[in-house]
Every structure is written in structure tokens, then in C-alpha cells.
Amino acid sequence: MEPRSPRTVDDPVAFCLSGLTQRPPPALIVSGGIGSGKTTTVARLVAALRSRSIPVHGVLAPRVLEEDGRTTGYDLEDVATGRRRSFLRSSPPGEAVGRFFADDTALREAGDAVSGTGPGSVAVIDEVGRAEIEDRGHAAAVRTACRSGALVVLAVRTEFVDRVAARFELGDWWEHRVRREERD
């Protein structure tokens, strides 16, 4: 699949509300660099949709920081239950994902978190990147979400957007590029 000029979305909440009425619904990629605010943006989107009684399932991966601001890992938060657990850490055990190691149980729970999605709901997965392109990490959860009939929202680093869209055959996808003011 050739990279395409993405169709962009300024208001992800309005996009999702409109997209939920379409069959099949479009997909939304929330993109940005490392530390740009993708997780924060998706978390705000989840809260806004839930406040409108829209069923939302999936996972967020909030960053775990040391006091000096260094990233030491990521947690996994189930957006439907609020349950949070250790996900990526800088030392084993687990599958190597970049400079971190992924907890296998957390990866299975990510799949479980999207299993309740279907038409009329939203499935979110934070973050989708190199591991998923290589059919590791959250790849199974992304495939489950894409087959569910739900509107799929993926947090993706800018450099992986086209490859993620191609790998998961997103078809009708749109991109929301995180802006500086959305970060905090």
C-alpha cells in the first residue's frame, strides 16, 4: 500500500460521534512523536465519549516517569474498568519491545479489553507501532478491534502511521495530529 496524503481531523470527539453512525465505521489514528501527548489526547477522547454514554473498550499506556523525568516504562490501563497494571519496563522478563520488555499477561489483557467491542462502540489501543507492524505486541488486539465493527482509535507515532494503516488494512482512516496545546 502506498502512503497517502492523510485526511485530517481537528476534533476527534466530533469525528467519533459522526463515525459511529457509519457502516463500517472509519478508523482514527491519533499521531505524534514520543512524548507529544497521544495518550493524553486519547484519554480525553475516551472521557468525552463515555460522558455521552458511548461504550469504549481498549487500553491506554500511560508513561511511568522517574523524578528526573526519565521514562522507565509504561503501564496498561483498561479504559472500561480503570484497572491499571505494569506493562513495559526497562528490564526483563518479557518480550523485547524497543528498549523495554513487555509483560505477556498485560498483552493478553489488552486483547481481552477490546473483546467487548462491536458496532456502536469505540475500541482504543495505545500505542501501536513497530512491534505491531512486525505482528507482535498489541497486533492481535488491533486485529480483534478492526474485525469487531467498532470505530477503532489507534495512538501511533508519526513515523509509523502509513505502515500501521497498511499492516492492519484500515481502509477508511483519518488522522488527528496531536497539537502542543493538547499535551498537558
**How many residues in the chain?**
184
Under 8 Å between Cβ of 59 and 116: no
The whole-angstrom distance between residue 130's C-alpha and the CA centroid of its chain comes to 13
Which set of grid coordinates corresponds to residue 122? Answer: 469505540
Q: Which residues of the chain have pLDDT under 50?
A: 1
Does residue 2 lie within any of the structural domains? no
pLDDT for residue 1: 47
Q: How many domains does the chain have?
A: 1
Host domain of residue 100: 12-178
Does residue 183 lie within any of the structural domains? no
Contacts of 153 (CB under 8 A, 6+ apart): 12, 16, 27, 28, 29, 30, 42, 45, 58, 122, 123, 124, 125
Backbone angles phi, psi at 16, to 5 degrees: -65, -45
Q: Where residue 80 sits, what CATH number does that domain have? A: 3.40.50.300
Does residue 152 lie within any of the structural domains? yes
Under 8 Å between Cβ of 47 and 53: no
Does residue 3 lie within any of the structural domains? no
Does residue 163 lie within any of the structural domains? yes
**Which tens digits make up the pLDDT trace of 93-132?**
888 888 899 898 988 898 899 988 999 999 999 999 999 9
pLDDT for residue 69: 85
Q: Name the nearest CA neighbour of 117 among 88, 146, 90.
A: 146
Does residue 98 lie within any of the structural domains? yes
Does residue 36 lie within any of the structural domains? yes
pLDDT for residue 182: 67
d(CA 170, CA 152): 9
- Distances 25 to 3, 89, 148, 172 between C-alpha atoms, Å: 21, 34, 10, 8
Which set of grid coordinates corresponds to residue 61? Answer: 499506556
Q: Name the nearest CA neighbour of 157 among 48, 37, 57.
A: 37
